[in-house]
Amino acid sequence: MSMENKRNAAKPERDRPWLIRTYAGHSSAQASNALYRQNLAKGQTGLSVAFDLPTQTGYDSDHVLARGEVGKVGVPVSHLGDMMTLFDGIPLDQMNTSMTINAPAAWLLSLYIAVAEKQGTARASLQGTTQNDIIKEYLSRGTYIFPPAPSLKLITDVAAFTYREVPKWNPMNVCSYHLQEAGATAEQELAYALATAIAVLDAVRDSGQVPEEDFAKVVGRISFFVNAGIRFVTEICKMRAFCELWDEITRDRYGIEDAKYRRFRYGVQVNSLGLTEQQPENNVYRILIEMLAVVLSKNARARAVQLPAWNEALGLPRPWDQQWSLRLQQIMAYETDLLEYEDLFDGNPAIERKVGALKEGARAELAKIDEMGGAIAAVDRGYMKQELVRSNALRLADIESGLTKVIGVNAFTETEPSPLTSGEKSILTVDDMAEQDQIEKLKGWRSERNQSEVDATLTDLKSAASEGRNIMESSIACAHAGVTTGEWSETLRDVFGEYRAPTGITSMIVTGDAENLQDLRKRVDEVSDKLGERMKMLVGKPGLDGHSNGAEQIAVKAGEAGIEVLYEGIRWTPEELVRNAIEDGAHVIGLSILSGSHVPLVREVVNGLRAQGAGHIPVVVGGIIPEADMLVLRQMGVSAVYTPKDYQLAKVISEIVDLVDRKSSDKPAVSSNGAGDAHGDAALY
């Protein structure tokens, strides 16, 4: 035997690596297509599409609520032409594509199928996933459109359609990722995600769309999308608990006998919540450690992994930053010997004890949700949202007190200047003209299509929705006819209505015994006495950004301090926020914007206040805001800018109270022109 053959014979067999992805999309379909092709050329093995907020919430790029949001956090897709451009030169029969889309998931899947058909690709050959988890949108991410019942019907339609027509497609990614981002404990993440999966499978089973003998196939296509945080051992045990609980639920509740249909199949993006603006280079280590939690245990290994970039707490990552995270996955998959071994944790007593404790806690929470009538009922009652707000408040309180150490934030804060963050191009910025370009292309698309075909397919879609029929074939016909995202969504809005989810904000007292909070309450009382009424703070989220965790925490902390909080959740136009602030007599406005649209949206609020003679009401802003934009905001009249690097919520509220005290002596006609002396907190993001 030759030396080469001996070497090959001695090589141990290796498992196939997980799908290696990066989550990407920005500016335009053309720019995003170029990015996808670059990443595939670098060894990425699947695509994960990020859509912009107008697309996620079912609006065309020229809708009033889309102002400032087009192309910011993902790619705008308004019609079939955009989708064709997005996948130009990428053969869909050879691709595994994940689409992070929820309320309009049926529509984006219809566009994807239509593109495949334009390419000459059979539906049955397509592989990929639509996230399509609307329940977690009510709890944490905020890109819902319709009320719970019709939303569940749309998920059911996709599941019933794909198991027949697109059998390799995952119709739903039960998404616990955003639950952890909203503060969920490991037990809550397990319970709330599993309760969501149960609600969907119950709905599919009871819909009459899937014969009993085929139901196992639907169960086998349900996938999950999870989060892995920095508590390394707990995360390994959480994933093993997920696998065991899902096997138990599918066997006992649904009678699935074939073990392959009971397999817990999941993809993962590791935690973005823990990425820090301070010493951001430390995030590289965090991302590595968090990835280990979902690849080390073979029996609970992720089927697909996408990693954030080290600088996502600063802004939009550049292609090089994404490449760095891609290379981390490739080194783990191809250079190490991890894939040559069986599960490293089987039989470990510490692991088994922790897995058992997590399962016990998750089962108890599942039983509580079941008593309420299931996940949908628990959403409507506001129970799950309130519990997430409470858990997140406790998490932040522990960071604020120093009980939880975050390196570079509240421990070991001494640092050298980072060469990685120096220079004007250390983060990617979206061209201001991208939005106008997209709108002009949209207008051109509308003018060139056959309007009678558009009208006919929309009429059929409305009939299908009104009559309770499956809407997928009608939606695919709409896609081919040139219907836009906004038109598809508006048609279903007419049938189903819209929904505003519970905020989870109550009069809860989380850290009421803290000495600094007691002092703050006294200060609020003093300022309220000067005002002649209880101090009021309007916390507002203009535009389409649904990341409400920070706004909720500011609202909770302000309420603890004795401030009357005016917070009605997400998705308000600047005009509406101005009107609400004036009508409700707000003494200060706190705007939370995480999507990168802070400059145009804040400008509209500030100008709107001045136009209504209310320029004396101070405005503070929070979000992921670059230093250069802070200056722009202050110049337009913002009184204070807060970013993720300041985590002391009591200090933030104290500064806002002092601001109101100073401004209360101004005459109403005097406009706020920027004290600008406070920097602050993730709380408003």
**Active-site residue list:** 23, 177-178, 541, 545, 547
How far apart CA 106 and CA 476 sit, in angstroms, is: 9
How far apart CA 543 and CA 142 sit, in angstroms, is: 12
HEC per residue, 259-326: HHHHCCCEEEECCCCCCCCCCHHHHHHHHHHHHHHHHCCHHHCCCEEECCCCCCCCCECCHHHHHHHH
Q: For 548-585, b where at least 16 C-beta lie within 10 A, e where not — what string?
A: bbbbbbbbbbbbbbbbbbbbbbbbbbbeebbebbbeee
Contact 153, 200 (CB under 8 A): no
- Calculate the alpha carbon distances from 361 to 191, 226, 358, 386 in Å: 8, 18, 5, 18
Secondary structure of residue 145 in the 3-state scheme: coil
CA proximity to 281, closest of 425, 428, 420, 406: 420
Return the ∠ at Cα 299 (arms to 296 and 303), rounded to 5°.
Answer: 75
Question: What are 96's strand-pairing partners?
Answer: 127
HEC per residue, 342-388: CCCCCCCHHHHHHHHHHHHHHHHHHHHHHHHCCHHHHHHCCHHHHHH
Q: Burial, 490: exposed, middle or buried (Cβ in 10 Å; 0-12, 13-18, 19+)?
A: middle
Contact 639, 676 (CB under 8 A): yes
Phi, psi of 39, deg, nearest 5: -70, -40
Neighbouring residues of 185: CB distance < 8 A, sequence distance ≥ 6: 391
Question: What are 268's strand-pairing partners?
Answer: 226, 305
In this structure, the dihedral spanned by the alpha carbons of residues 415, 416, 420 and 421, taken in order and rounded to 10 degrees, is 70
E strands along 186-256, which residues?
223-226
Placement of tokens 């089962």 in the chain: 363
Largest CA distance in the chain: 94
Residue 564: which H helix or E strand, with range? strand 564-566
- Report H helices in 417-548: 433-448, 451-467, 472-481, 485-496, 515-531
